[in-house]
């Protein structure tokens, strides 16, 4: 079973790229983030034509999360228990579904904007709520197979950014954000991709501006975190850097794990 995550940065603009890759990559379940459309605007039919069922949560042109699966979609939930809201309004940032026995959560963690912005506090609260809820899932069922996947908007280590100096006053690398990510790992959700993609300069995101991609100026901010029962099934993982190339790509690359 192959599970992938991809911040597609507008599914309507990139549906052909996404479905073409799905077919070539032989992926069973794809979690998408930043779909940037409402539910009635999501281009479902190209996925159906390939044999995928799709669930989507989107309210407007911002955010948006989806899951496409060719191995079934059951027990769909929009948002996790305790998920904070922003300015008293719901955001499409978390979508869960069970696919062939694996509980997949497509997550688009708040950006944080700047360290002195209220959105930064919201980001930390959002991550703390996710940690508490996810820990509760494992308390209830230690053998649960859970994949927390998506765009985390955090580079957990210095190796995960092309220049520590460049980002020193920015979000994504601050100690509180990194601590929030580590707290989820400490709640027994392991980064199941890193063991297969070691070393520096293994990024998942490159800005569109200033030739960031060809210059290698990226960040590693897209992750698949697995519960103990899921982690022990992982036999391979990769960051598909090639999908950042070509015509009108997303600024993120897909991340894939293979389960025994």
Concerning whether 172 is annotated as a catalytic residue, the answer is no
Whole-angstrom distance, CA of residue 31 vs CA of residue 224: 10
Location of structure tokens 């911040």: 7
Q: Is 252 part of any known ligand binding site? A: yes
Q: Is 153 part of any known ligand binding site? A: yes
DSSP state of 252: B
Concerning whether 151 is annotated as a catalytic residue, the answer is yes
* From 122, 203, 205, 252, active-site residue: 252
Whole-angstrom distance, CA of residue 104 vs CA of residue 54: 13
* From 28, 151, 160, 191, active-site residue: 151
| Nearest alpha-carbon partner for 112 in 160, 82, 152 | 152
Concerning whether 120 is annotated as a catalytic residue, the answer is no
CA atoms within 13 A on the CB side of 230: 30
Strand partners, 32: 6, 66
Q: Is 251 part of any known ligand binding site? A: yes
* From 28, 52, 108, 203, active-site residue: 108
Strand partners, 66: 32, 56
Whole-angstrom distance, CA of residue 175 vs CA of residue 172: 9
Q: 167-182 burial, b for 16+ CB within 10 Å, e for fewer?
A: beeebbbbeebbebbe
Whole-angstrom distance, CA of residue 21 vs CA of residue 28: 12
Whole-angstrom distance, CA of residue 228 vs CA of residue 141: 11
Q: Which residues are part of a known binding site?
A: 7, 34, 151, 153, 251-252
Q: Which residues are part of a known binding site for Mg(2+)?
A: 7, 34, 151, 153, 251-252
Catalytic positions, written as ranges: 108, 151, 252
């Amino acid at each position: 079973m192959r599970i992938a995550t991809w911040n597609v940065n507008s599914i309507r603009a990139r549906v052909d790229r996404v479905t073409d890759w799905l077919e070539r990559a032989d992926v069973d379940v794809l979690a998408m983030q930043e779909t940037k459309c409402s539910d009635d605007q999501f281009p479902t039919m190209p996925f159906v034509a390939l044999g995928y069922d799709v669930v989507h949560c989107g309210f407007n042109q911002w955010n948006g999360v989806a899951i496409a699966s060719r191995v079934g979609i059951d027990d769909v939930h929009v948002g996790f228990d305790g998920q904070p809201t922003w300015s008293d309004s719901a955001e499409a940032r978390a979508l869960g579904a069970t696919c062939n026995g694996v509980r997949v959560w497509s997550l688009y963690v708040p950006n944080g904007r700047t360290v002195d912005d209220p959105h930064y506090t919201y980001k930390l609260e959002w991550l703390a709520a996710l940690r508490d809820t996810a820990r509760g899932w494992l308390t209830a069922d230690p053998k649960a197979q859970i994949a927390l996947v998506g765009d985390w908007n955090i580079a957990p280590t210095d190796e995960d950014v092309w220049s520590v100096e460049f980002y020193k006053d920015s979000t994504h690398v601050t100690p509180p954000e990194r601590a929030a990510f580590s707290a989820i790992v400490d709640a027994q959700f392991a980064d199941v991709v890193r063991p297969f993609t070691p070393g520096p300069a293994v990024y998942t995101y490159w800005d569109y501006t200033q030739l960031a991609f060809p210059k290698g100026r990226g960040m590693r901010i897209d992750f698949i975190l697995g519960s103990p029962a899921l982690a022990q099934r992982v036999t391979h993982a990769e960051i598909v850097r090639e999908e950042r190339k070509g015509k009108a790509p997303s600024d993120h690359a897909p991340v894939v794990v293979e389960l025994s």
